[in-house]
Structure 1
Amino acid sequence: MRLTFAARRLLGRIRISGRPGGAGRWAGPVVILAIVCGCEDASAPPPHSAAELEAAKAQLRDHARLRTFEAGLPFGEEWVARVPDDGELRALYARQLAGWGLFRELHAQADRILSEDEDDPWGLYVRALAYLAEREYSAASEPSLGAWAASPRPEFLAAHIESIRARGAEHLLAFLGTLDSATLAAPEILAMRAEIASQARYELGDPTRADSSMASYAELRDRWPDHIDGYLRPAENLFRANRAEEALHLVERALARTPGSGDARSLHWRILAGSSLPAEQRRPAVEASMAEFVNAAPETARGLYAMAEAYRRLGDGVKAAELETRVVERAPHSLRATLIYQNEYLEAGDTMVRLYREEGHDSPAFRAQLKVVRDAVDRYLDRPIYANKYRARAYSILFEALNSMDPVPAEPLAEAVCGFATYERAYPVNAFGIGAAAMADHTPYAREAAEIARSGLQTVVDAVSMDRHLFRTEGEFEEQLRFQLSQVYDAMGWGYFKAGRAEDGRHVLERALALEGRNREARYHIGQVYEHFAMQEREPGEADVAARWLDRAEDHYIAGLANARRGENPNQAAIEALCERREGGRAGIEEYLATLGQRDRLRRRERILEARVEATGTYEPFQLARLDGSLVDSAELEGKIAVLHFWGTWCGPCVVEMPEYQKFDLRYRDDPHVRVLSISNDASRDVVEEYLQRNNFDFEVLVDDGYVQRAGVAGWPTTWFVDRAGYIRFVQRGSTMKLDEEFTWRVEALHEASDGRP
């Protein structure tokens, strides 16, 4: 009954804002237009002529093409109030709502159109826009395809292509191959072709696709110079590739055509704040652009929020807060207000993570911050949140804080896990795996925790499948799917065991390990189950059976020790306790553990050396600048073993392993046969220099100029180990707990393979 009470408390805190039902209709009551506008007025709309209506539709199309959604939204509101029964007009107004990301209001517009005709292509198009704004891409596929089949308009097709982006570049390119030349030449489809080429550049590992993408954007600008996507999308790609000057040129060309576009201005401010301008010139440049925007566009919550974000990037929290206050006063129930409400708990959560990294789990500052996070999340959850999907991250951070408390508060943790599992869809394994396992550990609701985990299996499959296009091979996709499912089965099995269903728990945990043998938590949990079975063998003649259970537990703990990751490994304490239990004391434990450590090193080294790549190519040549501006040419690496480490200060796993990387760099700094280079993907040299100085690091850093994109590096950190002939022989993707040791093994292996050379 206590969980039912907790669940009721949880539901009582949630203000239902509605979710699309199974048939695509809204399941809950929604107040839509009263929030954004007042367009369903009871008074008679003013008269209009057919010519005026067509002119209004043309103007709404212009607003979409120029991305002037700040002006387009109120203009569309006015016309929908005057002509409420024109589906095309509502759809063009909906495009303005999509520019604001207002998926609730988009669903309401779709409902209104489809209430008259459930197959109306404009209504289906708006439904697709709603799902796309909500990032429910697979749900957008059917209505967008239906709209295009009923009326082959390019905007309908563009929505459908966006909905199937997750199916991968090969699927998208094949789909484009089915379209006729006239359709492919439409501006909306030309923009999508450019996006697909950029996507294919990474997924297919073909750098020439980047040129194809830029060529398509150039064609879009030449043929439709007022189609602003032809400027902003390539500018975004250039800026991400650290080609800020080229990006700035494109955005300024766009602003000459659309000075009142919040999208163009936001990108302009981002580039200026992170550009090569001297630091003292960045704020004046941003504020001059802001003044132009204020003169060109009506004041809206969207525009105020964008300016507040720009001030935060400039480090002026006071000015940002002033603008955010105006947003909340203007529209307290709006999407932008919700994003502002998030800031408090997100900042509290960031501080919690920083204190953990810097001071550790037991520091008073970290312990105090846990309550700060809890209070900030509670305040957020009591606010008028735009939509329930914006609760997911709050519950995630709340769970992290509660799970770190000592003691863990059982009832609040159960509520947090329930909320986490209810709303988390971006990376649901955290809720249905880690969250459910913690609930089984720290609350009396182990059975319910197991059911939460079981209910999330399909959700996890769907989430990983949505990202299928991000994996280079089917094998990598399968590996990630097995890894995540293993975590969920682990939580389910542990919940069953803690609820008194030991045999059920055993079978489910064995399934978790069959999916992923490196799951150290599952190793620990099944070891605990085997120790439990050993305790059940109480009769004198059953001593051998009990010993066999303990042997099996010990084997799992040892295997769990071999799977080193960051964070405390429960198998370490478990094997020490088991050793002490079996030997009647701690004598000899240290020697025994030392042998386990050596076995772990041998296993890891064997696994790493087995991953040597034999059939591979050379890497993309480069000329990259150091932080002081001097150049390093990849030709300097000829005849040497090279280690190229791709990282960024924005990358959490990169930052965590940097002390180990510093040790590794020092190891080979004076070796004439080895060259260790790091390539930073940060947008600003200032950020890197400040980071190095703050942490007393002095390893060599090269500045990315788009090389990362050209070379096909798609994840951080990534490290290449290159032999003397210039061939990549080892690749480390992601961080590693023992970087210095494991990187050294790779370098020494390349030394040994150098035909007797030193």
Structure 2
Amino acid sequence: MDRVRRGYHGRDWWGCAREGATLRLQYPDSAPLQAWTLLCVARSGEDAVPLADAMLSERPGDPWALFARAGALVDHPGRGEAESIPAARVAQTALPDHPDATWLLARALVVHAAQSEAAAFFAAQPGPTSAQLHALELAFTLNTPDVNTQRVFALAEQARAADPRCVDAEFLPGLWLLNRRRPAEAEVLVRRALELSPHSAAIRSTLWSAIRQADHRDAADKRAAIEADMRLLLLTRGDAPEALMAARQASQDMFKETYEALSDELVARFPAYQQADWARYERLAALWEARYERRQKGAPDPAADEHLRRELDAFIARPPSRPALLGDVYHERYRLVRDDDAAAPEALLAAVQAWAPHEQRNIHSLADAAVELAERTPYRTEAEAIARLALQRLDARVALVRAAFSDQAVVDSETAAFSTALHGALGAVLLAQGRRAEARAELDAAWSQGKRTSPELFVRMAALAEAEDRIADAEALLAEGLSRWRGEEICDKPLKRLYQRQHGDDRGYAAHRQKLEAAVRDRRRAALLSTAIAEPKPLPPFVLPRLGGGEVRSESLRGRIAVINVWAKWCGPCVAEMSALQDLADAFAGAPDVVVGTVNVDTKTDDLAAWLAERGLRLEVLLGTRYARDNGYDTLPLTLFVDHDGRIVFTHEGATERLVEEFTWRIEALRQRASAPASKLVRPAG
């Protein structure tokens, strides 16, 4: 049993599952051996709950059978959240004071409980604990907001002292360093972990990430090092889905043919494993992302859409183990129907109703689908049921957010955003039914949340205003909505249709729209400038490498206004607004008192220069993954507006439709603050 347990804690889950199966031929009556083997099976990506249930049936009430079932549930993507913690408590009761049972309960709490509950558990542990419990506390600590280097390495040393062969005492600090863009230090620790557990796919995958980020290696050296190590892993663990998955992910950008071959192998050899689910899902995601790009370019391809439809149906026919993936696939299936102008109302209803039972995360999208159903089909009663279902799921969604974030402000912001979207959608559905008073109550509830960033909300409030014959209000709402992110896409057509209903055609619409936008511009500017921070804090100091060579120190910004955009290539809104950010930089290129720059937070940056050149972007890019993480810059895109004294006076989260205009307003406000006498400066309203 000890060998299997050590393999588990060495992150060689497929290896310990295979070794456990072999050892069970010699020791068929060892319940601990069987239990730990099943935990290895669960971590390797297979559903081990049926196997644990069978063990419990053969050994009713056996403490190790209860342990096995709890361990299998922790890693079950569908049942773990609800069932694993109670099951782990039962196992701990059955194995009182046993370190394995204590560790398992701690792991269930770390994976599925709120951070506060897991923290309280670790704080309550008496005296010295096992190396595995120290390592688990370290894993938990790495995901807490206020973690620091001293705490990380103190916990690692405690685990190492309890067991010098503790793999996670080396691996977890290495992973933490890597996430803070310290790849050279990370690589040393990860290689130490590999000496203790040489066949672990998870550890080797992290080593490849460290090699990718290494500044002292050129692209050819990185490629050769990763390829050689990948071959070594596949030689020793080529029959493991986790090894195939790790090699597949590393191959995606570097070895395209290898990536496709490993994807095929995963799906063919391990169809019941989570890794195969991810491979199938990622292939589908690539297809629907390609469809999105075609639509953005105005280049539809019906044959490609039909191919995507068939692939979605095939995925649904063999459901994945992770329910969230199925929700995403049904969502994309609905979008295909929604975007088909020839689709029958019954088809749209069927697509929404098929999707609704599987959607737990993107409930705002489900609510939007209810609006689409109410406005495009006669199925308004069914649409109301969908909208109310989304609202019912809000509490569960908020609970997930509370478990993920200890910062109450983050939770409140997320809750307000969802509440705004869901009440706004229900209001639109009720308005489509002609239930105006009820619609007004829901829309007022949405508007009162203060999260007026969604252009859809402006469209829905404008529809209510028009229904109440408040045409000027409706026009003003739509004109203001144009300035929100995606406002042109969402608000222009409703504004034009409103104009046509009032005037019979769209002649004169362009001039009318300009007049409306001018009327709301002063109000928008005043609202934006009112967000100035009452007591600005200094920009956190930095010394960051510049893409292309050299480094930039925060001190070099003093005496100038700095606009600093924090972004990543994987962030869609970030990418969408980059050309406008370039326009802003060009507009102020000759201004000695203004600097416009960016901080990129991608972990993989070796292709970043080519990516920027391909898009004609010449912005200064600093590499600051660790800087952003250490300072809590988690929402992307994020733009900081820093005054002459190095203080952050404005922040802007998310993308904006009117970037050049709105960012210029902030820059001009900072210029005025700098030139105004101290006695004339007035603190903004907080």
Q: Give the shorter-chain TM-score range.
A: 0.7 to 0.9
CA deviations 1:59-81 (Å, max 9, x no partner) are: 21111121221221123334557
- Does the CA contact (< 8 Å) of 2:5 and 2:36 recur in 1? yes
- Does the CA contact (< 8 Å) of 2:56 and 2:62 recur in 1? no
CA deviations 1:482-506 (Å, max 9, x no partner) are: 3212322333343344456565545
User: What is the letter of the counterpart of residue 402 of structure 1?
Assistant: V
- Does the CA contact (< 8 Å) of 1:128 and 1:141 recur in 2? no
CA deviations 1:19-77 (Å, max 9, x no partner) are: xxxxxxxxxxxxxxxxxxxxxxxxxxxxxxxxxxxxxx112111112122122112333
SS at match of 1:645: strand
Give 1:348 shift.
Answer: 0.7
Distance 1:370 1:173, change over 3 A: same
Give 1:571 shift.
Answer: 4.3
The count of aligned residue pairs is: 671
CA deviations 1:353-377 (Å, max 9, x no partner) are: 33344x1xx3335x65433432321
**Higher mean displacement: 467-476 or 441-450:** 467-476
CA deviations 1:449-503 (Å, max 9, x no partner) are: 2212212323232123212265575344223213212322333343344456565
Give 1:700 shift.
Answer: 0.9
Q: Distance in 2 between matches of 1:168 and 1:672?
A: 49
Out of 364, 382, 393, the residue aligned to residue 448 of structure 1 is: 382
1:226 is aligned to 165
Out of 70, 78, 95, the residue aligned to residue 39 of structure 2 is: 95
User: Equivalent residues in 2 for 1:602-617 (5 A)?
Assistant: 602-617=522-537
**2:24 is the alignment partner of 1:75:** no
User: What is the letter of the counterpart of residue 256 of structure 1?
Assistant: E
User: Equivalent residues in 2 for 1:50-129 (5 A)?
Assistant: 57-79=1-23, 87-102=31-46, 104-106=47-49, 108-110=51-53, 112-113=55-56, 120=63, 123=66, 126-127=69-70, 129=72
Distance 1:250 1:606, change over 3 A: same
**Higher mean displacement: 219-228 or 346-355:** 219-228
**2:195 is the alignment partner of 1:261:** no
CA deviations 1:642-690 (Å, max 9, x no partner) are: 2222112222221111011101112222322222221112234432101
2:174 is aligned to 235
1:292 is aligned to 232
2:262 is aligned to 323
SS at match of 1:698: coil
- Does the CA contact (< 8 Å) of 1:561 and 1:569 recur in 2? no
2:618 is aligned to 698
**2:278 is the alignment partner of 1:339:** yes
Q: Distance in 1 between matches of 2:493 and 2:651?
A: 33
User: What is the letter of the counterpart of residue 106 of structure 1?
Assistant: V
2:299 is aligned to 363
Distance 1:86 1:567, change over 3 A: farther
Give 1:412 shift.
Answer: 4.1
Q: Distance in 2 between matches of 1:636 and 1:530?
A: 51
- Does the CA contact (< 8 Å) of 2:600 and 2:621 recur in 1? yes
Distance 1:731 1:697, change over 3 A: same
1:307 is aligned to 247
User: What is the letter of the counterpart of residue 173 of structure 2?
Assistant: P
Length-normalised TM-score, structure 1: 0.80
Identity %, equivalent residues: 24
1:49 is aligned to none
- Does the CA contact (< 8 Å) of 2:39 and 2:71 recur in 1? no
Out of 145, 155, 159, the residue aligned to residue 216 of structure 1 is: 155
Out of 344, 354, 362, the residue aligned to residue 293 of structure 2 is: 354
SS at match of 2:398: helix
Distance 1:521 1:638, change over 3 A: closer
Out of 635, 638, 643, the residue aligned to residue 558 of structure 2 is: 638
2:684 is aligned to none
2:681 is aligned to none
User: What is the letter of the counterpart of residue 397 of structure 2?
Assistant: A
Out of 694, 711, 715, the residue aligned to residue 631 of structure 2 is: 711
CA deviations 1:485-536 (Å, max 9, x no partner) are: 232233334334445656554544444444456254344335445655xxxx
**Higher mean displacement: 656-665 or 626-635:** 626-635
Give 1:698 shift.
Answer: 0.7
Q: Distance in 1 between matches of 2:361 and 2:445?
A: 25
Q: Distance in 1 between matches of 2:333 and 2:605?
A: 35
1:180 is aligned to 126
Distance 1:706 1:494, change over 3 A: closer
- Does the CA contact (< 8 Å) of 1:722 and 1:729 recur in 2? yes
Give 1:633 shift.
Answer: 1.6
- Does the CA contact (< 8 Å) of 1:717 and 1:735 recur in 2? yes
Distance 1:732 1:114, change over 3 A: farther
- Does the CA contact (< 8 Å) of 1:643 and 1:677 recur in 2? yes
SS at match of 2:577: helix
- Does the CA contact (< 8 Å) of 1:66 and 1:258 recur in 2? yes
**2:645 is the alignment partner of 1:725:** yes
User: Equivalent residues in 2 for 1:519-558 (5 A)?
Assistant: 519-525=454-460, 527-528=462-463, 531=466, 549-551=468-470, 554-558=472-476
Q: Distance in 1 between matches of 2:104 and 2:574?
A: 36
User: What is the letter of the counterpart of residue 241 of structure 1?
Assistant: R
Q: Distance in 2 between matches of 1:527 and 1:646?
A: 34
Q: Distance in 1 between matches of 2:489 and 2:469?
A: 19
- Does the CA contact (< 8 Å) of 1:97 and 1:106 recur in 2? no
Give 1:84 shift.
Answer: 6.8
Give 1:628 shift.
Answer: 2.5
Give 1:696 shift.
Answer: 0.9
Which aligned runs of 4 or more in structure 1 are off by greater than 6 angstroms?
Answer: 81-85
SS at match of 1:364: coil
- Does the CA contact (< 8 Å) of 1:242 and 1:681 recur in 2? no
User: Equivalent residues in 2 for 1:663-678 (5 A)?
Assistant: 663-678=583-598
Distance 1:172 1:598, change over 3 A: farther
Q: Distance in 2 between matches of 1:118 and 1:86?
A: 15
Distance 1:684 1:158, change over 3 A: same
Distance 1:627 1:506, change over 3 A: closer
Distance 1:85 1:408, change over 3 A: farther
Q: Distance in 2 between matches of 1:230 and 1:396?
A: 41
- Does the CA contact (< 8 Å) of 1:605 and 1:742 recur in 2? yes
- Does the CA contact (< 8 Å) of 1:125 and 1:156 recur in 2? no
User: Equivalent residues in 2 for 1:265-280 (5 A)?
Assistant: 265-276=204-215, 277-280=217-220
**2:240 is the alignment partner of 1:281:** no
- Does the CA contact (< 8 Å) of 2:174 and 2:187 recur in 1? yes
SS at match of 1:332: coil
Q: Distance in 2 between matches of 1:164 and 1:327?
A: 31
**2:663 is the alignment partner of 1:743:** yes
Q: Over the residues paired in the alignment, what is the CA RMSD in angstroms?
A: 3.2
**2:340 is the alignment partner of 1:405:** yes
Q: Distance in 1 between matches of 2:393 and 2:28?
A: 39
Distance 1:128 1:614, change over 3 A: farther
- Does the CA contact (< 8 Å) of 2:374 and 2:380 recur in 1? yes
SS at match of 2:265: helix
User: What is the letter of the counterpart of residue 230 of structure 1?
Assistant: A
Q: Distance in 2 between matches of 1:387 and 1:517?
A: 32
Out of 378, 393, 404, the residue aligned to residue 313 of structure 2 is: 378
Give 1:131 shift.
Answer: 3.8
1:22 is aligned to none
1:439 is aligned to 373
User: What is the letter of the counterpart of residue 308 of structure 2?
Assistant: V
Q: Distance in 1 between matches of 2:661 and 2:98?
A: 59
User: What is the letter of the counterpart of residue 252 of structure 2?
Assistant: R
SS at match of 2:538: coil
Structure 2: unaligned runs, 5 residues or longer: 679-686
CA deviations 1:362-399 (Å, max 9, x no partner) are: 3335x654334323212322346456554222112223
- Does the CA contact (< 8 Å) of 2:190 and 2:206 recur in 1? yes
- Does the CA contact (< 8 Å) of 1:107 and 1:127 recur in 2? no
User: What is the letter of the counterpart of residue 270 of structure 1?
Assistant: S
Give 1:575 shift.
Answer: 3.9
- Does the CA contact (< 8 Å) of 1:623 and 1:633 recur in 2? yes
SS at match of 2:652: strand
